[in-house]
């Protein structure tokens, strides 16, 4: 059998870099709608004054490769020589085992000035972080960018081996704000309110769009393509979930019992938003507790799930973790695995709304400070935000998909009032509903009551609005 020739590798690289001969016309992705994350990512990735590689992390199918190609397009328009930009998809079999440094030798001889080298799906190269660190050290005139789908695993390696040499950028699923932008409904349904909050011109229409978002709205390709949207369940299940469960996680962690992993994920997806423990999952799934714990870590590392830990009514974290909640990183995965929901499916929408709201928080620095509170006598509050330094509760929230609070205010706010009485540090409360909206005071603290769809939109829009400034500040601090 013959080894792959250098000539064949070079031919593949030339095919994957069409802008070398037809820039910028050879980049069809440039015409696609851009995510709101693109400007801050571009600011970070094309800052040649910072001698760091930019690592774009995120789940499968959230648009990482599209953003990369759009970056190439803008870099050319900004004056970088097209023949000084190289892109390589590391998951291509022809590149198997090829050192990253070798790719630089395939750049055209007339590449000059600032150079940009991009490695897509870098997790498929063993010890990628060591290779990338050496490149950053040895090629100070090249800006390196890499992407990867196993976000947590990549982040861990980048921090262990790339301290001071890598800058991370997390690309989550589409926010509800982006979903409305992509579908052309944002200007029609939303207007800016006071103090960073937003108001809907038609809450019933917004709720309809929110249900669509829960069913298929986390993936740009599904939202933008009518043909894909008609078969969204198969696209999400086959092209995203199955590839992560059957390919990514087994190859990264050496998992042999793929059937068990798949079974556990299906169980967690069906019960998204419900409180769980290793004991009750073991009883229901038949898996051993150590296996469950390990697989949950793997699923979280691949950004299929979000694990939320609990605090008690004193907002103290338990020394021994007994209970936790699992949310889907992208709520539309549940519809793909089981069945789409409708606006009258209150119980499932309530849990998926929680998943969607936590998903919006992923790009916020405060994401790691979110907990839920649970204590004796069935007291529970869905969201507790703890201050980073002293772990005191700063604000709390309750997520609902009903308007019962209009008639049962005391009953619906009982757990909230317990926490407010116990913690003077809490300065604000959010309570979400289906359609009802009002500003009130509870225990002398302000509580904003608003629809879940509106709160989900507000979180996503406010967080993404701060990204451009944050990227610029981070780039300045790293110089």
Asked whether the predicted pLDDT for residue 158 surpasses 50, the reply is no
Domains of the chain by residue range: 6-171, 176-465
246 pLDDT band, cuts 50/70/90, is: confident
Q: Please state, for a pLDDT cut of 70, what percent of the chain lies above it.
A: 93
pLDDT at 201: 96
247 pLDDT band, cuts 50/70/90, is: confident
295 pLDDT band, cuts 50/70/90, is: very high
pLDDT at 151: 46
Asked whether the predicted pLDDT for residue 471 surpasses 70, the reply is no
168 pLDDT band, cuts 50/70/90, is: confident
473 pLDDT band, cuts 50/70/90, is: low
Lowest mean pLDDT segment, chosen from 47-61, 161-175, 363-377: 161-175
pLDDT at 162: 47
pLDDT at 152: 44
Bigger pLDDT: 153 vs 106: 106
Average pLDDT over residues 208-222: 94
pLDDT at 293: 92
Residues 74-87: pLDDT tens digits? 999 999 999 999 99
Average pLDDT over residues 102-124: 90
Query: Per the structure block, which two tokens stand in for 38?
Result: 């693109």
pLDDT at 285: 85
Asked whether the predicted pLDDT for residue 461 surpasses 50, the reply is yes
Q: Please state, for a pLDDT cut of 90, what percent of the chain lies above it.
A: 57
Residues 411-433: pLDDT tens digits? 999 999 999 999 999 999 999 99
Asked whether the predicted pLDDT for residue 363 surpasses 80, the reply is no
pLDDT at 212: 95
Lowest mean pLDDT segment, chosen from 37-51, 154-168, 425-439: 154-168
This model's pTM is above 0.85: yes
Lowest mean pLDDT segment, chosen from 152-161, 162-171, 357-366: 152-161
Asked whether the predicted pLDDT for residue 214 surpasses 60, the reply is yes
The winner for highest mean pLDDT among 7-11, 107-111, 200-204 is 200-204
**CATH homologous superfamily for the domain 6-171:** P-loop containing nucleotide triphosphate hydrolases (3.40.50.300)
Average pLDDT over residues 35-50: 92
Asked whether the predicted pLDDT for residue 161 surpasses 70, the reply is no
Place of tokens 């090629």: 139
191 pLDDT band, cuts 50/70/90, is: very high
59 pLDDT band, cuts 50/70/90, is: confident
| Mean of the per-residue pLDDT values of the chain | 88
């Amino acid at each position: 059998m013959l080894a792959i020739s250098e000539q064949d590798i070079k031919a593949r690289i030339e095919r994957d870099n069409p802008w070398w001969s037809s820039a910028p016309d050879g980049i069809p992705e440039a015409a696609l709608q851009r995510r709101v994350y693109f400007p801050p990512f571009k600011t970070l990735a094309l800052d040649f004054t910072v001698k760091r590689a930019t690592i774009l992390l995120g789940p499968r199918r959230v648009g990482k490769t599209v953003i990369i190609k759009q970056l190439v397009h803008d870099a050319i328009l900004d004056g970088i020589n097209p023949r000084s930009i190289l892109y390589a998809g590391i998951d291509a079999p022809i590149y198997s085992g090829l050192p990253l440094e070798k790719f630089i030798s395939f750049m055209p001889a007339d590449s000059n000035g600032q150079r940009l080298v991009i490695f897509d799906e870098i997790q498929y190269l063993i010890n990628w972080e060591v290779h990338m660190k050496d490149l950053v050290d040895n090629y100070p005139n090249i800006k390196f960018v890499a992407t990867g789908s196993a976000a947590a695993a990549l982040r861990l390696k980048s921090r262990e081996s790339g301290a001071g040499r890598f800058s991370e950028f997390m690309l989550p699923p589409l926010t509800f704000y982006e979903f409305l932008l992509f579908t052309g409904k944002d200007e029609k349904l939303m207007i800016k309110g006071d103090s960073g909050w937003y108001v809907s011109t038609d809450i019933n229409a917004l709720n309809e769009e929110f249900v669509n978002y829960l069913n298929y709205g986390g993936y740009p390709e599904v939202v933008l393509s009518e043909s894909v949207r008609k078969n969204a369940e198969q696209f999400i299940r086959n092209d995203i979930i199955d590839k992560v469960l059957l390919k990514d996680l087994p190859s990264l962690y050496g998992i042999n019992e793929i059937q068990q992993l798949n079974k556990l994920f299906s169980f967690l997806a069906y019960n998204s938003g419900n409180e769980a423990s290793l004991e009750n999952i073991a009883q229901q799934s038949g898996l051993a507790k150590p296996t469950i714990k390990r697989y949950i870590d793997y699923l979280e590392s691949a950004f299929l799930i979000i694990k939320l830990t609990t605090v008690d009514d004193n907002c103290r974290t338990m020394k021994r973790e007994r209970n936790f909640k699992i949310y889907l990183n992208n709520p539309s995965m549940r519809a793909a695995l089981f069945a789409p929901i409708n606006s009258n499916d209150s119980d499932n929408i309530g849990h998926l709304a929680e998943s969607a709201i936590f998903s919006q928080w992923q790009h916020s620095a405060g994401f790691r400070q979110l907990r839920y509170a649970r204590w004796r006598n069935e007291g529970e509050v869905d969201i507790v935000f703890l201050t980073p330094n002293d772990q005191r509760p700063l604000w709390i929230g309750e997520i609902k998909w009903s308007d019962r609070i209009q008639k049962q205010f005391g009953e619906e706010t009982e757990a909230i009032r317990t926490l407010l009485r116990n913690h003077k540090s809490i300065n604000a409360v959010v309570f979400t509903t289906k359609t009802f909206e009002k500003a009130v005071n509870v225990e002398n603290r302000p509580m904003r009551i608003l629809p879940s769809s509106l709160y989900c939109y507000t979180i996503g829009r406010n967080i993404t609005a701060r990204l451009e400034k944050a990227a610029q500040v981070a780039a300045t601090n790293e110089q």
